[in-house]
């Protein structure tokens, strides 16, 4: 398995996965190309035997305190083996490098799998956008992560579980050391911020 930064050359493979992962609300190739080319974006892909099996994107405008998880998708056959968490971790590590404080995302109210992933990393619901996803008429749950808290929990978890980290299949975040599953505590603080950018996940 190889995890690497995406480029515009990955557009066709990403779009193939995009269409199967989001059959009713896939982005157009033009929108995806713009995402991949944007200096404010950062996309990663994961490949197995030379085939792209996942991608994920962050939008973090240089100097801004907020960032957005734009998307994340793993090919159906490759799910349930830590790839999704590894890509999300890679995005959050990049957000840390860009000195972001808060990371936002929107997730479909009818997507408990993705919600579980985000909750387990410490994202907390901060609002709802009624009927955000069209044409399906599904609400968006807006979630926020306190990134500095996330980093602190990771550092703590790494201190406490360093020997196991090297064996983990979840240690392939880009630019990261071998990492542990951070298992953070869910945030319970009250938040009034709203998401910025064109969240879509």
Ligand X SMILES: CC(C)(COP(=O)(O)OP(=O)(O)OC[C@H]1O[C@@H](n2cnc3c(N)ncnc32)[C@H](O)[C@@H]1OP(=O)(O)O)[C@@H](O)C(=O)NCCC(=O)NCCS
Q: Which parts of this chain interact with ligand X (CB under 6 A)?
A: 21, 72-74, 79-85, 107, 111, 113-114, 116-117, 120, 201
Instruction: In angstroms, give the least distance from the CB of 192 to ligand X.
Output: 22
Distance of CA 105 to the CA centre of its chain: 8
Give the closest residue to 5 by CA, choosing from 55, 40, 48: 55
Please say whether the beta carbons of 103 and 147 come within 8 A: yes
Residue 121 is classified by DSSP as T
* Cβ-closest position to ligand X: 84
- Of 69 and 147, which has the nearer Cβ to ligand X? 69
118 counts as catalytic: yes
- The catalytically annotated residue of 106, 121, 132, 133 is 106
Torsion, Cα 186 191 194 198, to 10 degrees, reads -10
Instruction: Count the helices and strands in the chain (H runs, E runs).
Output: 5, 7
Instruction: In angstroms, give the least distance from the CB of 167 to ligand X.
Output: 15
- Of 17 and 147, which has the nearer Cβ to ligand X? 17
106 counts as catalytic: yes
Instruction: In angstroms, give the least distance from the CB of 63 to ligand X.
Output: 26
User: What amino acid positions are annotated as catalytic residues?
Assistant: 106, 118
């Amino acid at each position: 398995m190889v995890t690497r930064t995406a480029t515009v050359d990955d557009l066709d493979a990403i779009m193939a996965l995009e269409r199967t992962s989001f059959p009713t609300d896939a982005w157009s190739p033009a929108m995806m190309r713009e995402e991949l080319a944007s200096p404010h974006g950062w996309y990663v892909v994961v490949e197995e035997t030379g085939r792209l099996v996942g991608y994920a994107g962050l939008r973090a405008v240089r100097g801004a305190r907020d960032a957005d998880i734009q998307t994340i998708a793993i090919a159906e056959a490759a799910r349930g083996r830590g790839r999704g968490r590894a890509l999300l971790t890679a995005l959050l590590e990049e957000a840390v490098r860009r000195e972001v404080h808060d990371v936002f995302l929107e997730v479909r109210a009818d997507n408990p799998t993705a919600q579980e992933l985000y909750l387990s990393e410490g994202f907390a619901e901060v609002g709802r956008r009624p009927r955000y996803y069209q044409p399906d008429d599904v609400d968006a749950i807006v979630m926020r992560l306190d990134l500095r808290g996330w980093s602190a929990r990771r550092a703590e978890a790494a201190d406490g579980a360093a020997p196991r980290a090297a064996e983990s299949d979840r240690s392939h975040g880009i630019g990261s050391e071998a990492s542990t599953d951070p298992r953070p505590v869910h945030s319970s603080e009250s938040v009034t911020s709203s998401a910025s950018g064109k969240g879509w996940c």
